[in-house]
Amino acid sequence: MTIKAAILGFGTVGQGIYQILQTKSSQLHKLLGDEVEVTSVLVHNIHKERFLPEDVYVTDRFDDVLNHNPDVIFEATVGVEPSYSYLKQAIDQHIHVVTANKVMFAAYGHELIKRAGQGTGVGYEATTAAGIPIIGTLTTLLQTNNITKVQGILNGTSNYILTAMQEQNKSFSEALQEAQTKGYAEADPTNDIEGHDAFYKLMILSQLLYEKQPEWSEVPLTGISNLTESDLKSAKDKGEKIRHVATLELVDGELKGTVKPLSLPPTHGLFGIEEVDNAINVTGDLVGSITLRGPGAGQLPTASAMIEDFVQIWQTAPIKQFI
Amino acid sequence: MTIKAAILGFGTVGQGIYQILQTKSSQLHKLLGDEVEVTSVLVHNIHKERFLPEDVYVTDRFDDVLNHNPDVIFEATVGVEPSYSYLKQAIDQHIHVVTANKVMFAAYGHELIKRAGQGTGVGYEATTAAGIPIIGTLTTLLQTNNITKVQGILNGTSNYILTAMQEQNKSFSEALQEAQTKGYAEADPTNDIEGHDAFYKLMILSQLLYEKQPEWSEVPLTGISNLTESDLKSAKDKGEKIRHVATLELVDGELKGTVKPLSLPPTHGLFGIEEVDNAINVTGDLVGSITLRGPGAGQLPTASAMIEDFVQIWQTAPIKQFI
């Protein structure tokens, strides 16, 4: 048997998935027991040249993807729709899905997981801090621990800007421009610097840990664009660093979320996180404080998280179907 | 059905395991599908008062433990023997084993895993950096990535001493004494400060990642007791910090291991690791550089790792038996 894979969206991440499936084909064969073959790719514009082999069906219709009977769909598009509708359909046909779409998953991830039940896998490691295996750590490796608090630097762009402002004394606009030149920030950087991107990831962590989320409108988002020189100076004078931190905490049984700049002392697990790195600090009632750090974005880290997700889904799916 | 557990060794860690099994009993029931009951405990001195309920059989004979038909044995003793002999016997009777014994596991872990085959679980998360889930991350979450390099601060005692020397300008012997007073260092601190403890953990990581280890005699161990004031000063002048680092690397296809003090720049993933924390940095060919940080010792972090190990073993054992 061959494992048939489809890829939705053939931008940076979609191409990364395709590339890893090729370069790691023999290793994946060993891990999965079967070869993986990409049978279809969903794109916006089917006329664009893509250098894919002829046996990969390139289409702009999701029905065509389903007609190729994929065993797994790797979803690398942006925005809630049509992603959510596509993945619902796929799950209803017992196709495993692996997504990197944080905006969709923050809103509808729990619906997809409920819909999938036991036998169908829903992988979403790549939605939150890309290559850092925080989702797997929380779902698989820390099941007995109750996590009482999560704090993360969940957006590489704003961390890059803050690093440049504090380490190289750049102004906010200089640092932003540098981030844009290097491809770390988009032309419209609002999502990253005002905390929306970090917010979605925090909501995904909230759903995973507590099976609920705070009211979205009650999570205050404070960006980094209004930080003043004196804010930075007063942090520096105390030996601290300002970082853009997303926090989720159980306070008297109630979930409280915030995304805002915080001045962190050197003892804080997120103090030394520089440049475009992301990091997540979780506090478990048994294990104490654990921090995971790594690349929070990028083609290969994101695609890597999606492939690793699928490996785990495929390895555990047989048992999940029968328990 | 009840899941029957035995605990070998009832020191700090053994008591921690017992405590978690009690305090988390309903959560474990939910995760495992059955209740866990401690049926026997192996100790040195059966006459010592231990405040255990009467239905826990306390013995100094391993045969008694086996006669109670445990489903899982939590092993929290020190030294190669009798640990290795006990776990071999247990595995031959298809009893899952979970160990925190790094000295034994560095030498004989691969023998135990081979002996166990597919159906019997061998958990060893607690052998390496206690609460930090590095073993689970490498075995489960990063299966597709080839890890080309591992660097870790794997001993909390030596890291505590180095932190005190650099942050508080203490001498080595002052810092050591402080660590001993606080219970972080033993009366004879050789194992920790000369790198033996970190070495065993590095060998366990080597076996896991590459299915082999460097020749033990060819891994140079340099401790921290000979660091001079001028070493520390020259690091500080460069804005760097000295850390006791265990490194494992594939160089031209050959495994090279070292344990030695290194002067790390602020951009290094292990730069900001302070006090008794441990951290491990791995470089994956797809995901890039990932760092895990957390408590590398202590009763609850170590026992937590062992309980989490068992949860994963119990959840995946049914499938492993039939593939």
- d(CA B32, CA B163) in angstroms, rounded, equals 41
3-class SS of residue B236: helix
pLDDT of residue B131: 92
Q: Which two tokens stand for residue A204?
A: 């995904």
Q: Which of B30, B201, B233, B238 is catalytic?
A: B201
Chain B contact for A305, CB < 8 A? yes
**Confidence (pLDDT) at A319:** 55
Residue-wise pLDDT for A119-164, tens only, equals: 899 999 999 999 999 999 999 999 999 999 999 999 999 999 999 9
- Asked if A144's CB is within 8 angstroms of B31's CB, the reply is yes
Q: Residues B226-232: what's their mean pLDDT? A: 92
Give B171's Cβ-side CA count (13 Å radius).
3
Q: Any idea which residue has 């995973």 for tokens?
A: A208
A201 catalytically annotated: yes
Q: Which residues pair with A244 in a beta bridge?
A: A261
- Return the residue matching tokens 């004196």: A230
What confidence score (pLDDT) does residue B14 get?
97
Query: Do the beta carbons of residue A62 and residue A89 sit within 8 Å?
Result: yes
**Chain A residues touching B145 at Cβ < 8 A:** 304, 308
Nearest to B195, CA basis, from B261, B263, B102, B135: B261
**Residue A240 Cα to chain centre, angstroms:** 28
Residue A120's identity, in one-letter code, is T
User: Which residues of chain A lie closer than 8 angstroms to B24, CB-CB?
Assistant: 144, 286
A23-32 as b/e: b if 16+ CB within 10 A: ebeeebeebb
How many angstroms away from the CA of A12 is the closest CA of chain B?
14
B230 reaches A (C-beta below 8 A): no
* Burial of A55: CB neighbours in 10 Å, binned 0-12, 13-18, 19+: exposed
Residues of B in contact with A300 (CB under 8 A): 286-288
Q: Which of A4, A48, A170, A201 is catalytic?
A: A201
The closest of B69, B80, B132 to B102, measured between CA atoms, is B80
A243 touches B at CB < 8 Å: no
A chain contacts of residue B304, beta-carbon cutoff 8 Å: 144-145, 284, 286-287
Q: Spell out the residues 6+ positions from residue A192 whose beta carbon is closer than 8 angstroms to its own.
A: A155, A157, A158, A185, A186
Q: How would DSSP label each residue in A6-68?
A: EEE--SHHHHHHHHHHHHTHHHHHHHHSSEEEEEEEE-S-TTS-----TTSEEES-HHHHHHT
A302: pLDDT strictly greater than 90: yes
β-partners of residue A6 are: A40, A73
Is omega for the bond preceding A133 within 30 degrees of 0, making it cis? no
A102 is in an annotated binding site: yes
- Over residues B75-133, the pLDDT tens digits come to 999 999 999 999 999 999 999 999 999 999 999 999 999 999 988 999 999 999 999 99
Question: In sequence order, which residues have a C-beta less than 8 Å from that of residue A108 and are 6 or more positions away?
Answer: A80, A84
**Which contiguous run of DSSP H or E holds residue B132?**
none
> If pLDDT is split at 50, 70 and 90, which confidence band does A229 have?
confident
Residue B322 is predicted with a pLDDT of 47
Confidence of residue B169 (pLDDT cuts 50, 70, 90): very high
Number of other CB atoms surrounding residue A239 within 10 Å: 9
Chain A's closest residue to B307, CA to CA, is A144
pLDDT band at A165; cut points 50, 70, 90: very high
The structural domains of chain A, ordered by start, are 2-130+300-322 (3.40.50.720), 139-294 (3.30.360.10)
Residues 118-147 in A contacting B (C-alpha not used; CB under 8 Å):
131-133, 136-137, 140-146
Task: Write out residues 7-36 of A within 8 Å (CB-CB) of B.
Answer: 20, 24, 27-28, 31
Given a cut of 90, whether residue A269 has pLDDT beyond it is no
User: Does B81 count as an annotated binding residue?
Assistant: no
pLDDT over 70 percentage in chain A: 98
Measured in angstroms, the CA of A5 and the nearest CA of chain B are apart by 17
Collect all residues with Cβ–Cβ distance below 8 Å to B322 and sequence separation of at least 6: none
Work out the average pLDDT over B205-210.
98
ipTM: 0.95
Which residues, at least 6 apart from A100, have a Cβ–Cβ distance to it below 8 Å? A13, A75, A76, A126, A127, A130, A302, A305, A306
- The residue of B20, B23, B141, B281 whose CB has the most chain A CBs within 10 angstroms, and thus the best one to mutate to test that interface, is B141
Pairwise CA distance, residues A265 & B284, whole Å: 30
**Cα–Cα distance, B139 to B125 (Å, whole number):** 10
